[in-house]
Structure 1
Amino acid sequence: MTTAATARTTPEIPLRRAAVVAGAALLAMTVLAGVSFAVLNSLVVAGDAAQTARNIRGDELLFRASACGFTAVAVLDVVVAWGLYGLLAPVDRGLATIAAWLRVGYAAAFLTAQGNLLAAANTPAGGDPGDVSAAVTAFQHGWDVALVMFGAHLFAVGWLVLRSGYVPAPIGVLLMIAALGYLVDSFGKLLVAGYDAEVAGFTFLGEVLLMAWLLWRGRRL
């Protein structure tokens, strides 16, 4: 009986390796996402399609580089999903699997949304500036919808962390709060025209603390 129970709860991936991989991937994707969004926001002018089109055509290589950065972020999301699964599978393998697939699904949806950035970059120089702006807006909308899956993933991770006993419980609580922030924003944008509350901008602390804990404490698991 003891042997069977142990076999069911033994992680497939060493906890130390899973924690270090997840932490390193989270750090890398945080840097890449921050730089990529900074570049995108510097080129996109809200409410001015013509200026947005001119900016993108004038700095097309920079715009394409930001799209490449987002692609790398999506790939790193899959790595993070693998690492967090290995870290949390001993708590509840079934829920850890669901959480991992939710993040993989989010990464796939985010990657699909990035096709709109390629469409914006490939718009002919003499084309309608509105097409460029619409493509960038479609990317943003696609990402907003994808964040529903990310919020669900984060809530599951927070619950698993809370129950783990080897990751600080407050991080789990803060992760679930962060998840609710993403879900409120995503559904707010789906349900309310002109929604711009950005609740997730105030509830992300749990994500930062999890990354810091993985990088600092993960090596000692």
Structure 2
Amino acid sequence: MKEIAKISGIAYLMIFISGFYANFAVLESLLDINNPSITTANFINNHSQFGNGLLGFVMMLFFDALLVWSLFGLTKSISKNITYLASFFRLLHALFFGIALFKLWNIYQLTFNASNSVTLQHRVMKLLLDFDTLWTVGLLFFGIHLIVLGYLALKSQYIPKALGLLLLLAAIGYIIDGMAKLFMPNYIDYKDVFEVIVIMPSVIGEFSFTVWLLIKGFKKQRGLQNAKFV
């Protein structure tokens, strides 16, 4: 159980590192949502940087898939059926994110040694919109996964109850932001507010869970035999 906790903690940590690098340090730095010409030019002129960001996203997806296995092993003693449900929703998230990455890969191919034409700009912006929509749908499934994971933590005899509550708060943030992004026509006007709603609880909740897995998780295994629930 200790080894599974360590694997889960390392995987979560790698998701934080690769995700923040790929999304915030690379992708967000290349985007000018109101100017397709500048955005496309950034992809063309910073093609290697964009490629590094794409690799970061691929690493993020790999470790996310690894967590499907490791978290199942970590929580199956609490309730196997509910753990299957948590794994299912995390797999759905990984599936949608994987499909979304193909949109970025298409942009990477289109902008290799390309000229900045109006046609290319339209294609790039359409692919970016598709990427964002698919990832948002995936994050809704991820939010549901966190609800189930948070419930498992609350039912567990060895995961701190506070972590379960923090994971539930993170789940609410993902779901509120995802629903708003998909269905609010003026979402962009409140983007900063929704980013705070999703980023603050997710970073606090998931990072706290990561730290617990890496440092404190399962140091003492006494009582695990009594941790099963129907």
Who is 1:203 aligned against? 201
Question: Residues of 2 paired with 1:194 and 1:150: CA distance?
Answer: 24
Deviations along 1:98-118, one digit per CA (max 9) or x if unpaired, are: 101211221111010011111
| 8 Å contact from structure 1 (residues 17, 219) kept in 2 | no
Matched, 1:83 2:41: no
Name the aligned partner's letter for residue 104 of structure 1: L
Question: Residues of 2 paired with 1:123 and 1:24: CA distance?
Answer: 35
Question: Residues of 1 paired with 2:215 and 2:108: CA distance?
Answer: 40
Kindly report structure 1 stretches of 4+ aligned residues shifted beyond 2 Å.
Answer: none
TM-score by length of 2: 0.86
- Count of residues in correspondence between the two structures: 207
Who is 1:10 aligned against? none
Name the aligned partner's letter for residue 218 of structure 1: G
Who is 2:55 aligned against? 68
TM-score by length of 1: 0.89
Moved more, 128-137 or 46-55: 128-137
Moved more, 167-176 or 98-107: 98-107
The alpha carbon displacement at 1:142 in A equals 1.1
Alpha-carbon RMSD: 1.3
Who is 1:23 aligned against? 9
Percent identity of the aligned residues? 29
Q: 1:92 aligns with which of 64, 79, 84?
A: 79
Who is 2:163 aligned against? 171
Q: 1:115 aligns with which of 84, 87, 102?
A: 102
Deviations along 1:180-207, one digit per CA (max 9) or x if unpaired, are: 1101111111221132222212222111
The alpha carbon displacement at 1:219 in A equals 5.4
Name the aligned partner's letter for residue 203 of structure 1: P
| 8 Å contact from structure 1 (residues 18, 82) kept in 2 | no
Question: Residues of 1 paired with 2:33 and 2:3: CA distance?
Answer: 43
Question: Residues of 1 paired with 2:48 and 2:58: CA distance?
Answer: 15
Question: Residues of 1 paired with 2:52 and 2:127: CA distance?
Answer: 17
Question: Residues of 2 paired with 1:168 and 1:218: CA distance?
Answer: 9
Matched, 1:183 2:183: no
The alpha carbon displacement at 1:69 in A equals 1.1
Who is 1:8 aligned against? none
